[in-house]
Amino acid sequence: MRAGSPRLLREINDRAAIEALLRNGPLTRSELEGLIGLSKPATAQLLTRLESADTVVRNGLRGGGRGPRAQLWSVNGALAHVAAVDLTPDAVDVAIADISGAVLTEHRAPMPRGGSTEVLEAFSTAVGKAAGQAGLTPESLLHVVVGSPGAVNPATGELAYAPHLPGWGGFDLPGTLTEMLGTSVSVENDVNLVALEEMIAGRATEVRNFVVIWPADLVGAAVVINGSLLRGATGGAGEIDGLQIPDRAAAETDTDRAGGTFGELLSNVSICKLARAHGLAARNGHGAVRKALTAGPAGREFLVDLSRRIATGVASVVAVLDPELILLSGEIAQAGGTTLNDLVAAELRQLVVPRTPVQLALVTGKPVRSGALHSALAVAREQVFGLPAATTEPFRGRAVAPSAR
């Protein structure tokens, strides 16, 4: 096909229109015309062509005032469906969406503590039930993305760095899930998916180099370099739970001051023990942090001690990568809010030369599942529409006018 041929121009224009509709939702012809830069007749012909191909559908009317109401157009969501899954040791949280990004159904189910047969069967049942609620089968899903603690080794497919997920190791995880569900499956580290969501809709939309830190039980990190996730040779980039650090907390909790793992010092048990050393009782780490915010001087001292532990581990990451931004995410970070965030930033400045800003992650709620959904949609849209799979880039595509031939 020659560059500049009518067919090539139509394909470029069609992709630009589809991407505009996916990013902005239902649009009128004139709104679409303004976004992709075509003339009124050319945009009308484009919509007719896409409607004939069942790629776009009419989606109600927009109007008001005294003028006529305008026809709205949207991408045909029924063209393909995907699943996003947040897998934790205790539960599996599934969302089914169509290719437009509309979530059709959600389903959450407990996960057993057993061997591979038990956990895989429970996982498959949960995905099957979610698909059934949307009138689908797992086999009819175009792609499934699973967000999981730990990391999949790209050479073997085995899940590593996840001792808290018994039954999930020792085999090709994406391959096994693909065979079980009858459709393609990707498995991505959960904090990596949080970073993806921050690039799409959070504080990192205009940041090229940053790190997300999840300072909680089983500490994790996601590293983004030049706008791309760094996964490492074995998939273990960001697996900082086992990083050996000293305990710089002032309160005495019988820890080895010479060092322990980052994860041990920020486990629920350790955080609650640190809180008790400051006179605060809580059943879990984020509960202790929330209580400390209203506990006066004792609460403040506990938060300072906790920030020392967090900052000590983060300092190693900053010293090596010198990122533009550190984002704190997860239950502990959200519970501590700006108070804990600012304390961590202050402690970090005492430990490393780079004055890296520290901020709370903006995306809350279900960031892992949301990141998995965007990842699954990127795969589906590349296959169905030929759109670039990079979901973190802002919309820059403009149609090519016929006169440019």
Judge if 92 and 172 occupy the same domain. yes
Identify whether residues 116 and 258 lie together within a single domain.
Answer: no
Check whether residue 45 and residue 132 sit in a common domain. no
Q: Answer with the one of 15, 40, 75 that is the final residue of a domain.
A: 75
Q: Output the pLDDT for position 290.
A: 97
The answer to the question of residue 278 being in a domain is yes
Strand partners of residue 87: 92
Calculate the CA 336 to chain-centre distance.
21
Reduce the DSSP state of residue 184 to 3 states and report it: strand
Q: Which of 53, 75, 97 is the last residue of a domain?
A: 75
* Pair 260, 353 in one domain: yes
Residue 401 resides in a domain: no
What does the angle CA 209 – CA 212 – CA 214 come to, to the nearest 5 degrees?
165
Which residues in the chain come in under a pLDDT of 70? Answer: 1-4, 64-67, 389-405
Same domain assignment for residues 254 and 327: yes
Are 248 and 276 members of one domain?
A: yes
Closest CA to 169 of 181, 180, 161, 178: 161
Indicate the helix (H) or strand (E) that contains 74: strand 70-75
Per-residue burial over 292-307, b if 16 or more Cβ lie within 10 Å, else e, is: beebeeebebbbbbbb
Whether residue 275 is contained in a domain is answered as yes
pTM: 0.90
- CATH number at 60 reads 1.10.10.10
pLDDT at 119: 97
Q: Answer yes or no: do 28 and 152 share one domain.
A: no
| CATH label of the domain that carries residue 121 | 3.30.420.40
pLDDT score, position 68: 79
Residues 353, 226, single domain; the answer is yes
Establish if 199 belongs to a structural domain: no
Q: Please give the backbone phi and psi of residue 108, each rounded to the nearest 5 degrees, phi first.
A: -120, 135
Amino acid occupying residue 34:
G
How many structural domains are present in the chain?
A: 3
Spatial separation of the C-alpha atoms in residues 213 and 229, rounded to whole Å: 14
Cα 142 from Cα 138, distance rounded (Å):
9
Supply the pLDDT for residue 257. Answer: 79
> How confident is the model at residue 390, as a pLDDT?
55
Do 293 and 254 sit in the same domain of this protein?
A: yes
Give the DSSP letter of residue 301. Answer: H
350 & 267 share domain: yes
* Cβ-contact 28, 400 below 8 angstroms: no
**Residue 200, domain member (yes or no):** no
State the pLDDT at residue 404: 37
Answer whether residue 395 is part of any domain: no
Dist. CA 50–CA 57, nearest whole Å: 8
Q: What's the DSSP call for residue 155?
A: T
94 in the same domain as 45: no
Identify the domain containing residue 46 by its residue range: 6-75
CA distances from 282 to 90, 256, 272, 277 (A): 21, 23, 6, 12
- What tens digit of pLDDT does each residue of 253-262 get? 988 877 789 9
Determine, yes or no, domain membership for 371.
yes
Do 49 and 67 have their domain in common? yes
Instruction: Give 372's strand partners.
Output: none
CA-to-CA distance for 116 and 83, rounded, in angstroms? 22
**pLDDT value, residue 67:** 66
Rounded to an integer, what is the distance from CA 69 to the centroid of its chain? 38
Query: 104 lies in a domain?
Result: yes
CA distance 331 to 347: 20
Look-up of token digits 């984002």: 327
Final residue of a domain: which of 22, 49, 75?
75
